[in-house]
Amino acid sequence: MYKVILYYNFHTIEDPEAFCRAHKKACQALNLFGRVYIAAEGINGTLAGTAEQVDAYKQYLWDIPGFAPTEFKEDQTDYVPFVKLIVKTREEIVSLKTRETYDVNKEGGRHLSPEQWKAVLDSDEDIILIDVRNDYETRIGHFEGAIRPERENFYDFPEWLDEAGLDKNKKVLMYCTGGIRCEKFSVLMKKKGFKDVNQLQGGIINYAKTVGDAHYKGKCFVFDDRLTVPIEENQEQPLTNCEITGEPCDTYLNCANPDCNRLFICSVEGAKKYDGCCCEDCMKSPRKRPLDPDNIYMPTRKWYQYFDEKR
């Protein structure tokens, strides 16, 4: 059994390049796999390894001045869902691509614990509930009644907010996978004049581990080889359908045409019908990967780059 951790910390790093080099060496020494992004504003990562390796990494990060408050969301898996280790610098650890400055530690929304979040959803309070994730994530799972903006990229959310016409006097609750996107979007909403902005502490993953699946339907998309993790314990059927056959399905597949490589929801029958491709045109590609009927959902790896650009 292995551990997968998801974490972030908005703490100023004076020399991101030097921090990155030291961090990569530490991760390599522990034989961890996953992705870690470092910027002047802080760190954002997801890593996997044995319990001993992961626990050693957590202590390593906590021992760095300023990073002791880092919170980790943990999950267990039968295998390491990453093919390699990536540790690199970025301008921001999560970006809305605006000219705004975001001091998430002073200007962000109020953090609601999973218990507080559930209590609000249990009540009849009139709220605005926003899913701050990309559209391909929300299709397979979400909180009941949430507004799910049809946006493929997080950096498209400021434009959506300007167009949404939401009541700025209403109480706002927002959530994402692990919490990091809410940190910046809550600041943006407050800058836009929203009076009562709240975010789910630790995101969906922490909520499920703490209070279960109350008010949540379906699964949660994750950015590793697993692609999805179950949240709703007694889910009767998928929330969405195969894009080829139309049958209920919530399993993702990368198009077998490497020039497309689009991630789409596809059943076993759909994969066989289009030979692992998303459309008939992609089936004609001379570079099409052969479909292995025994390993239809084997990750093709190239999608890491796809998601690095979309988050």
CB 188 within 8 A of CB 158: yes
Kindly give, in sequence order, each residue whose CB lies less than 8 Å from that of residue 16, ignoring residues fewer than 6 positions away: 38, 39, 40, 89
Written as one letter, the residue type at 192 is K
Q: How far is CA 130 from CA 90, 144, 153, in A?
A: 27, 10, 15
Residue bearing tokens 């590609």: 285
Kindly give, in sequence order, each residue whose CB lies less than 8 Å from that of residue 21, ignoring residues fewer than 6 positions away: none
How many residues belong to the chain? 311
Catalytic residues: 176
The encoded tokens of residue 28 equal: 């390599």
Distance CA 188, CA 190 (A): 5
